[in-house]
């Protein structure tokens, strides 16, 4: 095993600075998956479980979402919430039982609510999709895979948190399902810089292209909206 005295942040900087790093690249059509932008994880003024890495994270995500909608591409928002019994958290919810514990994010609670700064357009306002997930990956026991097949996407853009948890799990699942996977760096966050940068490094080296958000925005801005079709109602 290689050893190093460098911090996770320093190792990430080295990886990111490598001009010869291999890329998966963007495909023809993408989905935007925004993971768990709920108060339990975004409102640092309210909850100990919340975190912030880039203070403009939600602003960047909203900008991405607007461009995806302009292209008539799918926008998905996930959140976690559990039954009053907590039994649908399974073994994941057994290690602790405090007000901050995962299984105690109840349906309809403040912790389960989306951060009001997020521009989520559903119902009469738009056709963003909201999925409740109970495990780390946005693919696990949700309709996400069927949605991606229906829309014939080949690229998955992932934002949200945490970098070391649900973002990583979704990124791994995305690649395993054959999708080009993109993680805009400013759009993901974690509780501690060590976890955050270590997992950005691992994602970059194995599972995804971790890019500056401006690169993804520029890619989207360079695309021409396609004519509306039946698939747009997915």
- pLDDT tens-digit series, residues 47-99: 999 999 999 999 999 999 999 999 999 999 999 999 999 999 999 999 999 99
Shortest CA distance to 91 belongs to which of 50, 38, 135, 41? 135
Contact 226, 33 (CB under 8 A): no
Mind telling me the catalytic residues?
A: 166
CB atoms within 10 A of CB 186: 19
Cα-Cα-Cα-Cα dihedral of 52, 60, 24, 227, to 10°? 150
pTM: 0.94
Calculate the CA dihedral of residues 186, 189, 194, 200 and round it to 10 degrees.
-50
Digit-coded pLDDT (tens) for 199-215: 999 999 999 999 999 99
Residue at token pair 């759009």 = 187
CA distance 159 to 167: 7
Domains of the chain (ranges plus CATH)? 24-223 (3.40.50.850)
CB 43 within 8 A of CB 49: no
126-137: b (≥16 Cβ within 10 Å) or e: eebbebebbbbb
pLDDT at 101 over 90: yes
DSSP 8-state secondary structure symbol assigned to residue 206: I
């Amino acid at each position: 095993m290689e050893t190093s005295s460098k911090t996770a942040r320093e190792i990430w900087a080295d990886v990111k600075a490598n001009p010869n790093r291999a890329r998966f690249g963007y495909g023809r059509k993408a989905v935007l998956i925004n993971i768990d932008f709920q108060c339990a994880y975004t409102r640092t003024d309210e909850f100990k479980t919340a975190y912030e890495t880039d203070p403009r994270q939600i602003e960047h995500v909203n900008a991405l979402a607007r461009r995806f909608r302009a292209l008539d591409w799918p926008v998905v928002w996930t959140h976690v919430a559990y039954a009053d019994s907590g039994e649908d958290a399974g073994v994941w919810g057994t290690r602790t039982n405090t007000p901050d514990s995962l299984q105690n994010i109840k349906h309809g609670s403040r912790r389960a609510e989306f951060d009001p700064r997020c521009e989520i357009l559903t119902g009469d306002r738009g056709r963003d999709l909201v999925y409740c997930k109970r495990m780390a990956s946005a693919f696990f026991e949700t309709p996400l895979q069927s949605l991606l097949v229906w829309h014939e996407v080949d690229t998955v853009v992932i934002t949200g948190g945490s970098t070391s948890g649900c973002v990583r799990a979704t990124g791994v699942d995305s690649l395993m399902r054959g999708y080009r996977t993109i993680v805009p760096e400013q759009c993901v966050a974690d509780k501690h810089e060590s976890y955050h940068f270590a997992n950005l490094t691992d994602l970059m080296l194995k599972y995804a292209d971790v890019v500056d958000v401006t690169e993804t925005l520029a890619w989207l801005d360079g695309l021409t909206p396609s004519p509306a079709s039946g698939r747009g109602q997915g």
